[in-house]
Amino acid sequence: MSRLKNISFIGAGNVAEHLARRLFESGCNLLQVYSPTRTNAPRIADQFEAQLVDDLSELSSDNDLVIVAIPDDAISKATTAIPRGIPVVHTSGSVNINVLSRSESYGVFYPLQSLKSGQTNHETIVPILIEASDPDFEKQLTELASLISNHISVCTSENRRKLHLAAVMVNNFTNHLYTVAENYCEQSKVDFGLLKPLIFETAKKVQENSPASLQTGPAMRNDNLIIAQHLAMLENDPTMNEIYRMMTQHIKNYPHQ
Share of the chain above pLDDT 90, in %: 81
For 88-135, write each residue's pLDDT tens digit: 999 999 999 999 999 999 999 999 998 866 555 565 789 999 999 999
Range 195-220 average pLDDT: 95
Cross-strand bridge partners of residue 29: 6
For residue 58, what pLDDT is reported?
Answer: 87
Chain centroid to Cα 143, Å, comes to 21
Q: What angle do CA 149, 155, 159 make, to 5 degrees?
A: 125
Domains in the chain: boundaries: 6-155, 160-253
SS3 assignment, position 89:
strand
Q: What CATH number is given for 6-155 in this structure?
A: 3.40.50.720
Average pLDDT, the chain: 92
Look at 65-74, 112-121, 132-141, 245-254 and tell me which has the smallest mean pLDDT. 112-121
Q: Which helix (H) or strand (E) holds 159?
A: helix 157-167
For 139-154, write each residue's pLDDT tens digit: 999 999 999 999 999 9
For 21-47, write each residue's pLDDT tens digit: 999 999 999 999 998 777 788 888 888
Residues 6+ apart with CB under 8 A from 36: 70, 74, 78
Q: How is domain 160-253 classified at the CATH fold level?
A: N-(1-d-carboxylethyl)-l-norvaline Dehydrogenase; domain 2 (1.10.1040)
Rounded Cα distance between 242 and 5, Å, is 52
Give 58's DSSP letter: G
CB 202 within 8 A of CB 178: no
Rounded Cα distance between 113 and 96, Å, is 19
CB-neighbour burial class of residue 165 (10 A; exposed 0-12, middle 13-18, buried 19+): exposed
For residue 41, what pLDDT is reported?
Answer: 86
Rounded Cα distance between 92 and 104, Å, is 19
Residue 35: other Cβ atoms inside 10 A: 23
For residue 37, what pLDDT is reported?
Answer: 74
